[in-house]
Amino acid sequence: MSHPNYMELAAPGVRGLQPYQPGKPLAELEREYGIHDAVKLASNENPLGPGALAVAAAREVLTDLSRYPEGSGYLLAERLAGKHAVTPAAITLGNGSNDVLDMIARVFLGPGIEAVYSQHAFAVYPIAVQATGARARVAPAADGSSGPAYGHDLAAMAERVGPQTRLVFIANPNNPTGTWLKEAELRAFVDDLPDHVMVVIDEAYFEYVDEADYPDSSRWLAECPNLIVTRTFSKAYGLAGLRVGYAVSDPKVADLLNRVRHPFNVNTVGQVAALAALDDSGHLEETLRVHRAGMAQLVSGFERLGLSCIKSVGNFVAVDVGRPAAAVYEGLLQSGVIVRPVANYEMPNHLRVTVGLPEENQRLLAAMKKVLA
């Protein structure tokens, strides 16, 4: 049998799709460059790792891995419902929040349908939209005159909402820019959307934000039935390797999402570790303390190097290296430091740097000084 033309067999939306590119793993750097003891500041992971309570809970269930997970995630859904003051029927669990974003796209998008998101927005949005065969309408980012440069321009996004629009994606704060939207402006945008448009507010970095007028948009659900809020345990809770995320929405919306949710999509270890992480307030407090000190260390260090940063409220910062960043990225790799180039976000002169431990941040700054020289 001759091989068919697999490209022609693929769904139209998949044919031109570029897969998501994660940050380079430490093991890959060691294989390719022979470098050991490298520092990874590329994927916005918690440099402290998981908390002791989550690790202990995970260990306790390791002898029971021959059993399928609790398919409904009953205990975790109950706990999250209490956290957000909603019914458990409003919770949809995901294999990381990326999984939930994909569910949302599969439920509400398809050929002939449109979705709106911002320039420089999280790379999963265009992937999820294109895979369904829907059309993306991308709003240019703010230029600094009416909002933070590189941030979401809500007026431009509203202009792109039309009769065929079914989804609007908003990351607050946004990855990779770290920019954020204030409560009044974001709530007004949500309230003004027509009834046929669902809005997804992606709050993956919620815990890191320390701004008085930054909203917890999950509190709006009773008044905004077209709203879906997504969160994750991968960032501040330090469980990126276990892939646990969730959405909070109107129960009727959650019912639709759960219809396409894969069976057992959140594993047993992830469920119990996430439950324990919610109890570990001490680990979260220490995470935020290390983050605040590390962000100040990086920003002041970049300023001493004559580099400008986009003001960020996430656990990362995008720094303008003043030239095409690919060569700087490569030089940092050779110095044993992994960061994230963001040319795929139309930011060719920027590198995204995760806030690390003090010694990791210092190593990055020293390597950056060397590479730039």
Q: Is the pLDDT of residue 18 over 80?
A: no
Pairwise CA distance, residues 350 & 25, whole Å: 20
Structural domain total, the chain: 2
Q: What is the pLDDT of residues 360-369, one digit of tens each?
A: 999 999 999 9
Is 87 part of a structural domain of the chain? yes
Q: Is residue 205 within 8 Å of 315, Cβ to Cβ?
A: yes
CA distance from start to end of the chain: 58
User: Do 144 and 219 share a domain, yes or no?
Assistant: yes
The pTM of the full predicted model, rounded to 2 decimals, is: 0.93
Q: What is the pLDDT of residues 147-203, one digit of tens each?
A: 789 999 999 999 999 999 999 999 999 999 999 999 999 999 999 999 999 999 999
Domain containing residue 14: CATH number: 3.90.1150.10
User: Do 267 and 292 share a domain, yes or no?
Assistant: no
Q: Which of the listed residues 279, 306, 324 is the one where a domain comes to its end? A: 279
Q: Is the pLDDT of residue 4 over 90?
A: no
Q: Which of the listed residues 226, 244, 279 is the one where a domain comes to its end? A: 279
The pLDDT value recorded for residue 34 is 83
Domain containing residue 170: CATH number: 3.40.640.10
Q: Is the pLDDT of residue 208 over 70?
A: yes
Print the domain residue range for 331.
7-49+282-372
Q: What is the pLDDT of residues 347-360, one digit of tens each?
A: 999 999 999 999 99
Pairwise CA distance, residues 329 & 324, whole Å: 9
User: Do 140 and 269 share a domain, yes or no?
Assistant: yes
The burial class, CB within 10 Å (0-12 / 13-18 / 19+), for 309 is: middle
Q: Is residue 172 within 8 Å of 231, Cβ to Cβ?
A: no
User: Do 226 and 307 share a domain, yes or no?
Assistant: no
Q: What is the pLDDT of residues 329-347, one digit of tens each?
A: 999 999 999 999 999 999 9
The pLDDT value recorded for residue 310 is 96
User: Do 330 and 302 share a domain, yes or no?
Assistant: yes
Q: Is the pLDDT of residue 204 over 80?
A: yes
Residues whose CB is less than 8 angstroms from the CB of residue 141 and which lie 6 or more positions away in sequence, other chains included: 118, 119, 120, 149, 150, 151, 152, 153, 177
